[in-house]
Amino acid sequence: MSGPHVNAAFLCERVLIEQDSVASAIRIVDRMYFLVDEEGEPVAPHNVLTLFVNLKSDQARGSYDVAVELERPSGERVPVIKSNVLLEGEERGVNILLPVDFQPEGGAGLYWFDILFDSQPLTRIPLRVVYQSPPTVGQGPQGE
């Protein structure tokens, strides 16, 4: 069977769905920066993102399972969601919108959101987490 095909897959700040059913993605994200405290823990431990996947049916018709799994930098895999989609065939498709309250529980590094279609890998969406120390407050320029 040919299909479904990934038309788009990414993380963004939000997705607007207009009255004519057209989607607009706002602030596509593939890297997040977190300030850390003295112990190296994130100061703001989470951000809400939207995972957006647009599939086009082609020859795929009917009801299918779609799952999202998170792979942390350590390689640990965590299920995020499993749902069902209805594909109508040809150029018809489906938008999958998933709010993700992201917490970098695996620390800094590369995270992958794996999209599975009927338990088979369809695509991966990367997210790089970078930890930064807050700027230090100096005493000012010399001579002051």
Domain with 40 in it: what CATH number? 2.60.40.3880
Task: Please report whether residue 140 resides in a domain.
Answer: no
Query: What is the per-residue DSSP string for 75-127?
Result: S-EEEEEEEEEEEEEEEEEEEEEEEEEE--TT-SEEEEEEEEETTEEEEEEEE
Which token pair is 88?
């109508």
Q: How far apart are CA 123 and CA 70, in angstroms?
A: 12
pTM over cut 0.75: yes
Q: How far apart are CA 10 and CA 106, in angstroms?
A: 20
Over residues 4-56, the pLDDT tens digits come to 999 999 999 999 999 998 999 999 999 999 888 888 788 876 688 999 999 99
Which domain range does residue 12 map to?
A: 5-132
Please name which of 98, 87, 123 lies closest in space to residue 7, comparing C-alpha atoms.
123
Task: Please report whether residue 143 resides in a domain.
Answer: no
Number of structural domains the chain divides into? 1
Please provide the average confidence, as pLDDT, over all residues in the chain: 90
Over residues 68-99, the pLDDT tens digits come to 999 999 999 999 999 999 999 899 999 999 99
